[in-house]
Amino acid sequence: MDRKLPPDGWLRQRHNYARERPVYRLDFPLLITFHIKRSDMAKQTSRRFQDVVRPTAFEEARDELFQQIVQCGVIGADPTHQDEWFGDTMAYVSDRYPELSATQLVELRTLGDRFVQPAKRAPAGVGDSATAA
């Protein structure tokens, strides 16, 4: 009995002797693909990416100052040491960021002084009603 294989190898031939003609079956599962028309899908909105906004020199100096305050442990230091540290650091910041004006440097110093201060506690009567409920 000489069997002929199909040329592409995907189909196998077997005879159905009751009908006297070959029956082909697939050797792999059928993959069903759906073709979706563009009109069937939701409208695609084009998203335009906004340009990245570069921080200003003041914002960079402020962030660097806050980072240095945390890293150097200025928050728990003695007030005289804090004043000495701020004097040196503000001289460094003015050299590093020459585009900052004198008013911006004063504002940076004020922000740094506020950042170093301990957190203020709420008066005794304000927080008690929330905890009692």
Q: Report in angstroms the alpha-carbon separations of 75 from 18, 70, 92, 103, 106.
A: 96, 7, 19, 24, 19
Distance, in Å, from the CA atom of 47 to the CA atom of 100, rounded to the nearest integer, reads 36
Taking the whole predicted model, whether its pTM rises above 0.85 is answered as no
DSSP per-residue codes, 13-45: EEEETTTTEEEEEESSPPPP-----GGGSPPPP
The per-residue pLDDT for range 108-121, each reduced to its tens digit, is: 999 999 998 877 78
Q: Are 14 and 25 in contact (CB under 8 A)?
A: yes
pLDDT of residue 49: 75
The per-residue pLDDT for range 13-45, each reduced to its tens digit, is: 554 445 555 555 555 555 555 555 656 556 666
The per-residue pLDDT for range 53-90, each reduced to its tens digit, is: 889 999 999 999 999 999 988 888 888 999 999 999 99
Q: Are 58 and 99 in contact (CB under 8 A)?
A: no
pLDDT of residue 37: 60
